[in-house]
Structure 1
Amino acid sequence: MKEQFRQHIEKISPLNDETFDYVYSFFKPKKIRKNSIIISSGDLVSHEYWVFKGCLKASYILEDGKEKIIRFAVEDWWVSDYDAYFKNNPATLSIEALEDCEVLAFSFQDREKLCKEFPEIGYFFRKKIEGAYSAFQRRLVSMLSNDAKEHYEIFVQQYPMLMERLPKSIIASYLGITRETLSRISNASL
């Protein structure tokens, strides 16, 4: 896990061995069992997670009890309820493991400390936030401007690895459509 995490960071910010070892010491390895919830709506959130292995989902529950999946996190991705993490607000999202997972947990306080001590770590996290914000904006624009079929095609193009790993009911929830609609669209696309 340590070497993969170093490769992940060094795609953006190369670090010498001593600096990397120090930075890595702030990350706590955790194993999360499938269906475990690591953040529940209403929680105070002090950690974000880098995914080494597995898949998690971040979702929101509507007043009628329906779940809306906001995003997924697979290998090399980061996940948290970022409004809660950055602003010390109660979580509005729940984050659940869809598979057995191995992650590195990283506290907000440690993030602030390392970003102050090492500009290259601050740069790394800024670039990650820029990428996440851009992806979120593309998803929002797609949801607002594309029909279900186009939204499905974009998902398949961007995340082919998720098509094999996730049940259709989960993908349908992410796309904001019913399982039946997803089946019709996917069958028509074959």
Structure 2
Amino acid sequence: MSIELRKHIEEITPVSDDEFDYILSHFRKKKLKKHQFLVQENNEVLNDHYVIKGLLKAYYTNDEGKEHILQFAMENWWVTDYQAHFKKEKATINIDCLEDCEILCLSLENREKLCSELQKIEHFFRIKSNFGYVALQRRILSLLDKDAKGRYEQLMELYPTLLQRVPKTILASYLGVSRETLSRLS
């Protein structure tokens, strides 16, 4: 069903065919259309999501209605409202599709079950979490220390395909600049 997930796992740890079949049996596949919500503010967040195909944006809308984009998620990335998911609270962010998407959904219960039964999967998720912390720190430091040009250059260095996949207004919002400023930078 998902050779992409197996390749993703095996970037960190090898799995046998039987192990992978067992792992995959704990996931549920979901297809979403462009503009459809994967996670919506004030709703429960039952799953973590692995992106097989497509592009999503995770964002927070403040009381004044301003949208703050936290992250994009494309192929081979994981995305959810982690605070809501792990603490079993209502979502504080939205995640919606910028393209048609194919997602694999993993419930917290199934994740915990897999991690307790397969040490290599527990190891996989620990490493993925560590990489997530690194990316988050890099994003925060970029917002704190870089000017618009520096943030744009870092984004293009790390994720060069985003410019072709994300509308300029959304990319500008992610970078914290106006669309006009982004046009001057690109």
Identity among equivalent pairs (%)? 49
| 1:160-179 correspondence runs (5 A) | 160-179=160-179
Q: How does 1:1-190 map to 2 (within 5 A)?
A: 1-186=1-186
Instruction: Work out the CA distance in 2 between the residues paired with 1:41 and 1:177.
Output: 24
Summarize deviations over 1:94-138 as a string: whole Å, max 9, x none: 000000000101101100110000110000000100001100001
Q: RMSD of the alignment, in Å?
A: 0.8
Deviations 1:32-81 (A, max 9, x none): 00000111111111101100100000000011101111001000000000
Residue identity matched to 1:95: I
Matched to 1:125, the amino acid is F
Q: State the TM-score, normalizing by the size of structure 2.
A: 0.98
Q: Give the C-alpha shift of residue 178 in structure 1.
A: 1.1
1:181, distance to aligned residue in structure 2 (A): 1.2
* Matched AA of 1:54: G
Residue 161 of structure 2 aligns to a residue whose secondary structure is helix
Q: Which amino acid aligns with 2:14?
A: P
| Cα separation, 1, equivalents of 2:7 and 2:86 | 25
SS at structure 1 position matched to 2:26: coil
Unaligned runs of 5+ in 1: none
**Which whole-Å CA distance do the structure 2 matches of 1:116 and 1:133 have between them?**
22
Paired residues, number: 186
Find the aligned partners of 2:61 and 2:116 in 1 and give their Cα distance: 36
Matched residues in 2 for 1:9 and 1:67: separation?
33
Deviates more, 1:175-184 or 1:26-35: 175-184
* Mapped partners of 2:31, 2:45: distance in 1: 18
Q: d(CA) in 2 for partners of 1:159 and 1:28?
A: 28
